[in-house]
Amino acid sequence: MRKKLEVYLIVTLFTLLIWLLAEQNNVVREQIQISVWIKSPASQRLVIEPDTPRTVTVLVSCSTGQIAGLKERLKQQVREFELEYDGGASQHPVVYTRYLERDDVFEQFGATIESVEPPTLSLEVEPLVQVTMKVAIDSGGVEIAEPGTDPGQATVELPSSAAPQAKEESLIVRIDPTAPKYAGEGPHTEVVEIELPLQFSPHNVTITPRTAAVTFKVRELTSDLEVKSIPINTRIHMSAVGRFTIEPAENDRVLRSLKLTGPRQVMQNIREAPLASVTAYIALTLAQLEAPVTEAPVLLTLPPGVKVADQSQTDIELTITEIESN
């Protein structure tokens, strides 16, 4: 009897072992969400949009014993791949399966990729090129003598589509010759950051070198000017648009008088087109709108080198009403 029991237990344990082994080798199909980032190849200088990780859903077939490990590994980090690019059209379709099948992690866990959703990603791809641009001084309208920059030109790496226009433009170094540190005729020397012209976006653009030494002499005299009836604009946070009405007091809708002093040529520009050169506004935060406040300081945007000698209102009175939602 005892011997039969021993045989029975052995057979049971052996059967259970076989079942467990079989269970471990059963193939299951599961969907796994992973982050995939298609990046610019190290050997090429490219602009890629979008240049961020994208979430995709991968349907894989894998053994029961390996699926948990595979899922854990895939969640640990973004799967990064270098884009295969041989030139041509700016619209570049990426088939996710082609890239993911190169990832050793699937082979390590004995998994097979059956499908990816979405199956493709459309990328905007543009080569980066280098052009040489002159460096020009912007003195804010103040006349200066004997201007010079070192270096006189810089190398700019930028998207190829912007290269033709860039060759016709100049980089900018900005100085304010009316600043106290430039008292006296000079010559004055200042190391200044090199900037792109306003019409160029700084995105995906590199300037080498980043700074230039600017040398100049000051010879511009200053003058005074009074500007009247400048409209006072209102600036609020985007989240507050449409939620409030803002009514300045009748006497505070314009800045009645603003006395300025600055470089003669700049003041002449203001005299000819005051509203294009000088801006008055109030800036209200969401907290101020919700309070609501009953007055706000008047802020000004002025050309470089121009200073305020006097102004009729430093604050204005206003009424803020929250619009009731339906």
Domain end (from 183, 218, 253): 218
pLDDT of the residue at 99: 92
Q: Do residue 193 and residue 152 come from a single domain?
A: yes
pLDDT of the residue at 4: 57
Radius of gyration, CA atoms only, the chain: 34
pLDDT of the residue at 172: 95
Q: Do residue 104 and residue 140 come from a single domain?
A: no
pLDDT of the residue at 28: 87
pLDDT of the residue at 49: 86
Q: Do residue 226 and residue 207 come from a single domain?
A: no
pTM of the model: 0.52
Tokens for 191, please give them.
Answer: 């190391």
Domain end (from 218, 237, 272): 218
pLDDT of the residue at 24: 47
Give how far the C-alpha of residue 155 lies from the chain's centroid of Cα atoms, to the nearest Å. 22
Complete edge-to-edge strand list for the sheet that includes strand 295-297: 244-248, 315-322, 295-297
Q: Do residue 267 and residue 193 come from a single domain?
A: no
Tell me the residue range of the domain where 113 lies.
2-118
List own/partner pairs for 102-107 with CB under 8 A and 24 or more apart: 103/79, 105/70, 105/73, 105/74, 105/79, 106/60, 106/70
Q: What is the mean pLDDT of each run of 10 residues along the chain (326 residues)?
A: 57 51 66 91 86 92 88 88 80 90 90 92 90 93 88 93 88 89 84 88 87 86 87 85 89 92 86 90 90 92 90 90 78
Q: Do residue 197 and residue 234 come from a single domain?
A: no
Instruction: Check which CATH number belongs to the domain holding 242 and give it.
Output: 2.170.120.30
Domain end (from 118, 140, 155): 118
Q: Do residue 147 and residue 114 come from a single domain?
A: no
CA distance 146 to 218: 9
CA distance 100 to 104: 9
Closest CA to 305 of 141, 185, 178: 178
Burial 162-189 (b: 16+ CB within 10 A, else e): bbeebeebebbbebbbbeeebeeebebe
